[in-house]
Every structure is written in structure tokens, then in C-alpha cells.
Structure 1
């Protein structure tokens, strides 16, 4: 079922369903729902297994450790 976000208020997301009915849900609950997706959103890339720190340039890593 597709719902449309019509307003954001603090931690609440106000949605309108396909039948025109509305509901407000807490953002944390919405994002934690395993069925929740954003239509048309790009899927974020995952971090490499070795971690992001090792992907930074050597000079930047040395500066961060200093």
C-alpha cells in the first residue's frame, strides 16, 4: 500500500493513504518498519568490510590519529 507524506511536525510524519484517509506516525516507528521504503530513492551504498577509516588518504588518517 502506498502512502504519501503530506506534513512533518516534530517527530511526527503525517500520511495520506490511497483511500484519502490520514494518519500520523512517529518517525522512529516508520523508519523501523521492515516494510517501509521510499519510492524512487537511491539505495545507499554499504561501507566496505574493512571500514571507512582505511579508505581515507594516508595523510588524513595520520592527522586523525595524531
Structure 2
């Protein structure tokens, strides 16, 4: 359920960071949150699953 995702740690922070920018690199988000890569990957993955974020791969096929 979407409410469970929205209540998770870092979701609000990520959505607020992305509110006023077109896009951000994964590493920028991770550094601003000062947390582990796996945590950010999991949260972003859930937001993408619920179509709250979209994910774009760069030209080299990396996120």
C-alpha cells in the first residue's frame, strides 16, 4: 500500500529534494541523506514501483 511507502524513513526527504529539480544523480541523494547505498536503492526502488519517481539510466547504462 502506498501509505506504507510514504511513511518510510527517507521517503519524505527524497521527494522534497526532487521537488524543485528535474533530476539528481543517485550519489547526490545518497550523500545528502548521509546513509548507505542499499537504503537509498531500496527506498528509490519502492518509489519507482509506485510511480512516484522515474529512474533514468545514463548513456553508459549506469544509474
TM superposition score category, shorter chain reference? under 0.3
Which TM-score applies when normalising by structure 1? 0.23
Of Structure 1 and Structure 2, the greater strand share is in 1
Of Structure 1 and Structure 2, the greater helix share is in 2
Highest CA radius of gyration, 1 or 2? 1
Which TM-score applies when normalising by structure 2? 0.24
